[in-house]
A = this chain, B = another copy of it.
Amino acid sequence: MSAGTPGRLARVAATPPTLADVAERAGVSRQTVSNAVNNPDLLRADTLARVLQAIDDLGYSPNRAARNLRTRSSHLVGMRIRPAQEGTANATMDRFVHSLVETSREAGYHVLLFAGDPEDPVSGYDDLLRSTAVDAFVVTDTYLGNPQATWLEERRAPFVAFGRPWDNPAAGHPWVDVDGAAGTDLATSYLLDHGHQRIAWIGWRKDSWIGEDRRSGWSRALHARGLPTTGLASRVEDTVSSGKEASAVLLDEAEPTAFVCASDTLAMGVLRTLAERGLTPGRDVAVVGFDDSQVAQVVSPGLTSVRQPLEDVAVEIVKALQGLLGHPPAVGPGVLLRPTLALRGTS
**A interface vs B, CB < 8 Å?**
2-3, 9, 12-13, 16, 59-66, 68-69, 72, 74, 76, 81, 83-84, 86-87, 90-91, 93-95, 97-99, 101-102, 105, 110-115, 120, 122-124, 126-127, 129-133, 151, 154-156, 240, 265, 268, 271-272, 275, 293-295, 297-300
A18 to B16, CA, bound (A): 28
B12 touches A130 (CB 8 A): yes
Chain B residues with Cβ below 8 Å from A94 are 84, 90-91, 93-94
A76 touches B297 (CB 8 A): no
Partner among B101, B123, B268 whose Cβ is within 8 Å of the Cβ of A113: B101
Contact A131:B12 (CB < 8 A) given known A2-B123, A86-B297, A113-B110: no
A66 to B105, CA, bound (A): 24
A127 to B37, CA, bound (A): 14
B240 touches A294 (CB 8 A): no
- The minimal Cβ–Cβ distance linking A109 to chain B, given in whole angstroms, is 10
Chain B residues with Cβ below 8 Å from A275 are 300
- The minimal Cβ–Cβ distance linking A68 to chain B, given in whole angstroms, is 4
- The minimal Cβ–Cβ distance linking A158 to chain B, given in whole angstroms, is 11
Residue of B nearest to A275 (CB): B300
A151 to B295, CA, bound (A): 37
Q: How many copies does the complex hold?
A: 2
- The minimal Cβ–Cβ distance linking A215 to chain B, given in whole angstroms, is 22
Beyond A9-B154, A87-B298, A294-B295, 10 extra complex contacts between A and B, CB < 8 Å: A2-B122, A3-B154, A12-B130, A62-B131, A63-B69, A90-B94, A94-B94, A110-B113, A295-B295, A295-B298
Residue of B nearest to A6 (CB): B154
Chain B residues with Cβ below 8 Å from A16 are 130-132
Partner among B81, B112, B126, B131 whose Cβ is within 8 Å of the Cβ of A2: B126
Contact A101:B126 (CB < 8 A) given known A2-B120, A64-B132: no
Residue of B nearest to A297 (CB): B87
A265 to B155, CA, bound (A): 46
A81 touches B64 (CB 8 A): no
A272 to B65, CA, bound (A): 54
Please name the 5 residue pairs, one residue from A and one from B, whose CB atoms are nearest each other, closest first.
A65-B68, A61-B130, A84-B98, A65-B69, A94-B94
A110 touches B112 (CB 8 A): yes
Chain B residues with Cβ below 8 Å from A297 are 86-87
- The minimal Cβ–Cβ distance linking A305 to chain B, given in whole angstroms, is 13
Chain B residues with Cβ below 8 Å from A154 are 3, 9
Chain B residues with Cβ below 8 Å from A294 are 87, 91, 293-295
A101 to B120, CA, bound (A): 17
